[in-house]
Amino acid sequence: MARKESDHAVTMRDVAEDAGVSVKTVSNVVNNYQFVSARTRDKVMASIDKLGYTLNVTARNLRTGHTGIIGLAVPDLVMPYFAQLSSLVIEEAKKLGMRVIVEPTLYSREGELEALHGAQQAMLDGLIFSPLELGQDDVAELDVDYPLVLIGERIFTDTVDHVATENVEGAKRATKYLLQTGCRRLAVVGTHPGEQVGSAALRLQGYREALEEMGVPYDERLVVPSKMWHRDDGLHAMNMLLDSGVVPDGVVALNDMLASGVMHSIQLHGFRVPDDISVIGFDNSDDSQYLTPSLTTIAPGLEAVARLSVRVLRDRIDGVSPFGAPEGTSVFRKVSSTLVVRNSTRPIPDGGLRL
């Protein structure tokens, strides 16, 4: 029995009556309206305490037309990346006095469309959406009646506000760093052959750009695809590579889970990380520092993603132009990533890069 018996909930009317003022005055007190005399305020406060009044948020919502709840549509809550992102978004929203309903889209196109179209029904003030299945062809679906902020780099359109992470730049930085530590035969694990948009393609692109800039030839045999990005997949992919007799001196894993599996495979094959083969990951997941050796990785700046997306959304909800964007323009922000150096890579040799 968790329900108390309080037949008739206390309303502003009750408080008003008890304090001998009008209902609107109670409302004014509750909302910290500036022109309320100290004496009236005290009287009302006393009555509120006495009667145990709490504001009926639903009634306010109806009157004001918004709820203070935003939606967050992500593929899944269990993947560390999205769990972390959700956590940060909730935290940031709380700072701004908003609450969050997380809608898992379950890696399905259907789920993503449902989140997109159901938001209005769902009394959400706005939606932060991290698409995975929806792509460039679905731009039309994004033309919704409520404030919407996109996260990621899958869809590009200048009609929707957008917070992106540095996929290309991050992978490029990772690859360059390995090259600077002296690696010359760099494998990349987790690619999605044929993919155009999406993290795998973008990260591969970063890898290639880095090679090119550093004048290291691109070698197809060092590119190991893997549809999924679990630890397991990294293990298998790396096994395949090593078993086929190709031994790189470094591996760029397209995320940390893959990196974990890759390191495991390397060790099973009797090589040492980083002495024989360096490994770098992507995401800076919570686990990465607990691996053995701890994993050098790219931190995508999730805090910034969370902070920016929530703020932009809040501004749209309030009818304010975020970051002073001109009327009718959408906002695009790319969050910079950082390199987190740990023990799965060798130090950069004294005297810096030697070609």
Partner DNA sequence: TTCGTTGTTTACAACGTTGAATATAGTCGA
Partner DNA sequence: TCGACTATATTCAACGTTGTAAACAACGAA
> Which residues are near a second copy by CB under 8 A?
1-4, 6, 54-59, 61-62, 67, 69, 76-78, 80, 83-84, 86-87, 90-91, 99-104, 120-123, 126, 142-149, 159-161, 230-232, 235, 261, 264, 268, 286-287, 290, 292, 316, 328-330
Angular region, 298: left φ>0, alpha ψ -120 to 50, beta rest = beta
Q: 126-165: which residues touch DNA (CB under 7 A)? A: none
* 203, 225, 103, 115 alpha-carbon torsion, rounded to 10°: 90
CB of 87 to a second copy, least distance (A): 4
Q: Which does 83 bind (CB under 5 to 8 A by kind): DNA, a second copy, none?
A: a second copy
Q: Which does 290 bind (CB under 5 to 8 A by kind): a second copy, DNA, none?
A: a second copy
Q: What angle do CA 308, 336, 126 make, to 5 degrees?
A: 20
Q: 57-96: which residues touch DNA (CB under 7 A)? A: 59-60, 62-65
CB of 68 to DNA, least distance (A): 12
Q: Shortest CA distance to 119 belongs to which of 142, 153, 85, 95?
A: 142
Q: Which does 39 bind (CB under 5 to 8 A by kind): DNA, a second copy, none?
A: DNA
Q: Which does 101 bind (CB under 5 to 8 A by kind): a second copy, DNA, none?
A: a second copy
Instruction: Provide the 10 A C-beta neighbour count for residue 96.
Output: 14
Q: Which is nearer to a second copy, 194 or 319 (CB)?
A: 319
Q: Which does 13 bind (CB under 5 to 8 A by kind): DNA, a second copy, none?
A: DNA
Q: At residue 329, what is the residue type?
A: T
Distance, CA of 226 to CA of 237 (rounded, Å): 7
Q: Which does 25 bind (CB under 5 to 8 A by kind): a second copy, DNA, none?
A: DNA
Q: Check residue 22 for interaction with DNA (CB under 7 A).
A: yes
Q: Which is nearer to DNA, 96 or 106 (CB)?
A: 96
User: 249-283 as b/e, with b when 16 or more CB fall inside 10 Å?
Assistant: bbbbbbbbbbbbbbbbbbeeeebebbeebbbbbbb
Q: Which does 205 bind (CB under 5 to 8 A by kind): DNA, a second copy, none?
A: none
Q: Check residue 30 for interaction with DNA (CB under 7 A).
A: yes
Q: Which does 121 bind (CB under 5 to 8 A by kind): DNA, a second copy, none?
A: a second copy
SS3 assignment, position 299: strand
Among 6, 32, 37, 121, binds DNA (CB under 7 A): 37
State how beta strands 161-165 and 186-191 pair: unpaired
Among 2, 3, 34, 128, binds DNA (CB under 7 A): 34
**N residues, the chain:** 355
* 281, 287, 291, 296 alpha-carbon torsion, rounded to 10°: 30
Q: Shortest CA distance to 183 belongs to which of 275, 98, 73?
A: 275
Q: Check residue 35 for interaction with DNA (CB under 7 A).
A: yes
Measured between its terminal Cα atoms, the distance across the chain in Å is 73
Q: Which is nearer to DNA, 13 or 221 (CB)?
A: 13
Distance, CA of 175 to CA of 48 (rounded, Å): 62
CB of 36 to DNA, least distance (A): 4
CB of 200 to DNA, least distance (A): 44
Distance, CA of 230 to CA of 29 (rounded, Å): 54
Strands (E), 177-240: 186-191, 223-225
CB of 49 to a second copy, least distance (A): 14
Q: Which does 24 bind (CB under 5 to 8 A by kind): DNA, a second copy, none?
A: DNA
Which residues form the interface with DNA (CB under 7 A)?
9, 11-13, 21-25, 27-28, 30-31, 33-37, 39-40, 53, 55-56, 59-60, 62-65
